[in-house]
Structure formats: C-alpha cells, structure tokens
C-alpha cells in the first residue's frame, strides 16, 4: 500500500516533538517535509528543535524549511513559561554550529505549495502551531487548499475555554487572523483537535512515567526535555487545565497527528461550520462552533470530540522506540 504523504507544520515545542516522532515511526506515513513557524519558541529555536528531533530518530533526510517568524498582524509575545524559552524545556546545552546549513534554502510556504502541487490530492497537512504559514500559502496560491488530501489542525477550542487567555487556545491566540483565514478559506476536508479535545482525552501520569522510561534514544530524549518543564510535572497542579479537566498528562499536538495516522483513533466528532473571533477584549482568537448554521457558511469541518485513548497511548509508546533498527 502506498504510504500517506504528510507535511508537518510546527512551532516545535515538546508536544510537537512527540507528534513528529509519532509520524516518523508510523509505517504507513512518509513525512515529505517539516515546515517551521514561530510559536513555542522563536523561529530559530523551532528550526533547531526540529533538526534535533530528526537527529535523535536518525531521520536527517527529511527536509526542514524555515517559515514565518511572526503573526500576520500585531506584535507576537509568546509566553516562555510553558515549554521554556527554547521550546524544548531549556535543558539542551550543546548547539550545532552548522544548523543553519541543514535548513533548506526554499521558504516553508513555497515548499508547501510545491510539494502539494507535485502530489495533488495526496498530501495530508498536519498543522501543530500558529497557522501563519497556512494563511500565507492560500494567499500565494488560492488553489492550495483544494490540492490537499486533507488538513489536521491542533488548535482552537470548542467550549470557550482558553489556556493562554480566558477564551483562546495558544495556537489560535498567537495569530487569530491566520486562524480565521484558514478556517474560512481551506475548503478541504479538515479535522480539528481542539484544546478541550486533548484535555478531555488525557492520559495518566503513571502512563507518562512508563512512556519516558522506555529503553530507547527517543524516550531518553523525551525524558530529558520534560525533566525541568512544569507542563510535564504532575506537581504543577492548579493550572487551568487541571482546574477544568482534572489532572492528566496531555500531549496536545500528538492528538492531531494520531488522527492523521490512524483515523480509527477518533471515535466521535462533530461536523459543523466554525469561525474564529478576531475582535473583542476577552474572546480574540476563540473558535466558535456554529451548530445551528447561523453564519450561513457552506463549509463544515470535523471537530474531534472523543478518542480511543488506549489506541492513542499505544501510538505514543511506539513513537519513543526510535531510532528504528535498520
């Protein structure tokens, strides 16, 4: 069977690293490129983080492209307290002096358009960061979305609960205009793994311990980057997530990736139009579900609601058993 071609658009924080590893290990997936965007860290850090993940998995052949370093509108001030200032928990000391040479010369947005045009209706795009590169892609090539096989997004919210602000989820809040453009103009089949979806399908901290204590380089890498990160500490209760959903280990981006790799991981979803709020003092960046079609939109997306947590956990476990034996 032909492998599923996947482009990963990422702001490579710790959960992105997890999601990328999940794609790399999946036997039915070919990662045709990784495109970088600002978000969990500044763009330079994101690029280096992706290279580190590929190196740990001994998959340096996957091309990495540099994309947008800031939002379409307004200044960007990503919080630095979640996955550290570098996005990977501020524990990696050694820096590859030649990392810039390992990044492709072609811009991420051009690469996305080229790869998808060369493989029409065959590429799944998995977006794990702010949607700036995707918004630029549809501006440069309005036919880009219809050339995709499908689109998977980690982002937005479905219950009005926010993590980075009162009502907005991080990826959408970092660039609300781009999130708006993508959800209005990408008329391809779209699956949304919202913040609440991942939080409602969390795993136990006992599972997390088992996950990172596996005997493989990728597991040891994950253990290192989560070692000093409060987001991966079960002691760091009293955050919004635990307050809303109870304590759990939640690897956000991995939920969108799992849906792409194996559709049967998703057991329930809602099909409806959605829109992103761009104005407002408390709801900027919030996604709303229009279940009664008041917005009169012609396009609906699939908002994921329930996950086969056991199957998802299995994908996580396998993703850290890398590099694969040759």
Bridge partners for 296 per DSSP: none
Is residue 16 within the footprint of Ca ion (CB under 5 A)?
yes
Give one word for 280, left, alpha or beta, with left for phi > 0 and alpha for psi -120 to 50. Answer: left
CB 314 to Ca ion: min, Å = 22
Is residue 17 within the footprint of Ca ion (CB under 5 A)?
no
The piece of 12-20, 114-122, 218-226, 318-326 that touches Ca ion (CB under 5 A) is 12-20
The contacts of residue 60 (CB under 8 Å, 6+ apart) are 51, 54, 102
> In this chain, which of 128, 153, 158, 315 binds Ca ion, going by CB under 5 A?
128
Distance (Å, rounded) from C-alpha 54 to C-alpha 257? 16
The contacts of residue 72 (CB under 8 Å, 6+ apart) are 132, 135, 136, 175, 177, 178, 181
Distance (Å, rounded) from C-alpha 205 to C-alpha 210? 9
Q: Which is nearer to Ca ion, 153 or 167 (CB)?
A: 153
Q: Which is nearer to Ca ion, 208 or 255 (CB)?
A: 255
CB 294 to Ca ion: min, Å = 31
CB 171 to Ca ion: min, Å = 6
Distance (Å, rounded) from C-alpha 143 to C-alpha 64? 23
Is residue 129 within the footprint of Ca ion (CB under 5 A)?
yes
Return phi, psi of residue 22, to 5°: -65, -40
CB 97 to Ca ion: min, Å = 26
Q: Which is nearer to Ca ion, 11 or 262 (CB)?
A: 11
Q: Is there a contact between 78 and 40 (Cβ–Cβ < 8 Å)?
A: yes
CB 254 to Ca ion: min, Å = 10
CB 129 to Ca ion: min, Å = 5
Give the HSE-up count for residue 54: Cα atoms under 13 Å, Cβ half-sphere. 22
Q: Is there a contact between 119 and 32 (Cβ–Cβ < 8 Å)?
A: yes
The piece of 43-51, 71-79, 128-136, 184-192 that touches Ca ion (CB under 5 A) is 128-136
Is residue 174 within the footprint of Ca ion (CB under 5 A)?
no
Q: Which is nearer to Ca ion, 41 or 129 (CB)?
A: 129
> Would you give the binding string for Ca ion spanning residues 249-268, x where CB under 5 A is met?
----x---------------
Secondary structure class of 113 (helix, strand, coil): helix
Is residue 126 within the footprint of Ca ion (CB under 5 A)?
no
CB 274 to Ca ion: min, Å = 19
Summarize as ranges the residues that interact with Ca ion (CB under 5 A): 11, 16, 128-129, 253
């Amino acid at each position: 069977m032909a492998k599923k071609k996947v482009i990963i658009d990422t702001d490579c924080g710790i959960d992105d690293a997890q999601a990328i590893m999940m794609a790399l290990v999946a036997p039915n997936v070919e990662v045709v490129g990784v495109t970088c965007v600002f978000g969990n860290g500044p763009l330079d850090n994101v690029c280096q983080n992706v290279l580190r993940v590929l190196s740990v998995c001994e998959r340096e052949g996957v091309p990495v492209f540099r994309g947008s370093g800031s939002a379409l509108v307004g200044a960007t001030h990503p919080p630095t307290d979640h996955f550290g200032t570098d996005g990977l928990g501020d524990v990696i000391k050694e820096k590859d002096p030649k990392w810039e040479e390992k990044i492709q010369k072609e811009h991420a947005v051009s690469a996305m358009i080229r790869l998808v045009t060369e493989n029409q209706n065959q590429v799944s795009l998995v977006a794990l960061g702010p949607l700036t590169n995707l918004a630029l892609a549809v501006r440069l090539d309005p036919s880009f979305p219809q050339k995709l096989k499908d689109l998977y997004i980690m982002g937005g919210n479905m219950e009005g609960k926010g993590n980075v602000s009162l009502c907005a989820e991080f990826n959408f809040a970092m660039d609300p205009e781009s999130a708006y453009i993508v959800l209005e103009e990408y008329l391809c089949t779209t699956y949304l793994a919202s913040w609440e979806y991942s939080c409602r399908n969390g795993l136990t901290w006992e599972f997390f311990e088992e996950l990172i204590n596996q005997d493989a380089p990728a597991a040891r890498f994950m253990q290192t980057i989560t070692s000093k990160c409060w987001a991966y500490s079960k002691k760091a209760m009293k955050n919004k997530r635990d307050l809303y959903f109870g304590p759990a280990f939640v690897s956000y981006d991995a939920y969108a990736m799992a849906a792409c790799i194996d559709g049967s991981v998703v057991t329930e979803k809602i099909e409806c139009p959605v829109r992103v709020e761009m104005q407002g003092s408390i709801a900027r960046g919030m996604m709303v579900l229009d279940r009664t079609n008041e917005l009169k939109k012609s396009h609906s997306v699939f908002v994921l609601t329930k996950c086969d947590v056991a199957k998802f956990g299995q994908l996580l476990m396998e993703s850290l058993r890398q590099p694969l034996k040759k």
